Amino acid sequence: MGALLESFFVQFPSELNGLSTSMSSRIVPCDACGNPIRDSDLETGQAVTLLGKRYCGGCKGEAIQNVSLDDLSGAPPTPVAAPPPGLAKKAPAPAPRSPAVRTTAAKPAPAPALPPIRADRKAASRRAAPSVSAPSRTPWIAGIAGAVLLLGAGGAFVAFRASPEPPPTSPHSQNSSSAASGPAATPDARAREAFLLVQELAGRSGASAEIILAAAEKARGACRGTSYEKPLDVLITKAQRDKEGEEAARELAPLIDELKGAVATDSEFKRYSELQPKFQLAIETAAKSGSTRVNEIRALQNDYNSRYEKLAEPYYTEIHEAAVALADERRYDDAIRKIETFPQQLRNSGTWTTLQKLRQDIERRKKK
């Protein structure tokens, strides 16, 4: 408001200073700081007369900031004193700026040059000089109010244009949201909402398979009998596989550690028959978990079995030769007893399987 009033004081200095028609250089003090103010400063707008007080160029800004429209509308008109007769000059009447602003000041007649006048005559002439009535302030107050309204309307228009528009919503999204959440939602809409929740959960990275299965079980009732039942079953099947993989991954590491420890300490292969199923379990567990340690497990098993076969090889060679010789001499019972001397802990080897076939052949020959 202060800036607006200041602009009007600059644009309409003659109206706001009482429409003074004097061109004299009379000096008056500033009512705020006491600095001298010339009439020419009032006419050009460098100084202002506000509510009956004069303010210089340095004080007018603060004075205008502290005034309100109510003060201006209720302030009485300030008369402008006429200049002394000896110094008065013919001043042209100010041109009206608009039809609404008119001056009522009478144009003074030109005064002839007078001889020097004593001080008492000058004082008397000042008292007798007719005063020029100031024009009404109502027109320019109305102009200020109109400008304020125009600025307010312009600001509102700019704010309206600058406000962001809400994002457009497609009819499909509106229909789907209302159909899924409304009280009269169709079974397909409820099934779609339940399925999308499970699908979104399954698509998250790091989501636990147990959580996905729990959410799928809750959605199963809403999807049953709809087109979303089979897609939900697909998600459930995948989640079950993932759950098995997670469980297998948790079991795989300790199982491999156990196998490594047993292989390192079982130099006599007393646990050979016990460890073979564990090797197979470790391979299956690694395959379920998607681990790349399957080759590691197979390599550990092959090394263990190779050493086992290598230990059984000398026993096989010696027993096989003796049993064949005894069978050729038709000493079938001695040949069978010789085969039975093969070490018990090595009877899971491939050589023991070969000796078993030899024994069966000797028993057939014995029956003949």
Q: Does residue 279 have a pLDDT over 60?
A: yes
Nearest to 301 by CA among 321, 281, 327, 324: 281
Per DSSP bridges, beta strands 53-55 and 48-50 are: antiparallel
What the block records as the tokens of 334 is 């001695």
Query: Range with the lowest mean pLDDT among 26-30, 35-39, 156-160, 324-328?
Result: 156-160
pLDDT of residue 274: 92
Query: Range with the lowest mean pLDDT among 50-64, 118-132, 329-343?
Result: 118-132
Give the three-state DSSP class for 342. coil
Per-residue pLDDT, averaged over 73-88, amounts to 47
DSSP H or E stretch at residue 310: helix 294-328
Per DSSP bridges, beta strands 36-38 and 48-50 are: unpaired
Per-residue pLDDT, averaged over 160-167, amounts to 48
Contact 332, 364 (CB under 8 A): no
Per-residue pLDDT, averaged over 30-41, amounts to 86
pLDDT of residue 301: 94
Give 151-154's long-range contacts (Cβ < 8 A, gap of 24+). 151/4
DSSP track, 41-57: HHHHTSSEEETTEEE-T
Q: How confident is the model at residue 210 (pLDDT cuts 50, 70, 90)?
A: confident
Residue bearing the bigger pLDDT, 61 or 92:
61
Residue bearing the bigger pLDDT, 83 or 149:
149
Question: Per DSSP, what are the bridge partners of residue 48?
Answer: 55
Q: For residue range 243-263, what is the model confidence (pLDDT) as tens digits?
A: 888 888 888 889 999 999 999
Query: Range with the lowest mean pLDDT among 20-34, 157-171, 208-222, 250-264?
Result: 157-171
Question: Per DSSP, what are the bridge partners of residue 246?
Answer: none
Q: How confident is the model at residue 23 (pLDDT cuts 50, 70, 90)?
A: very low
pLDDT of residue 297: 93
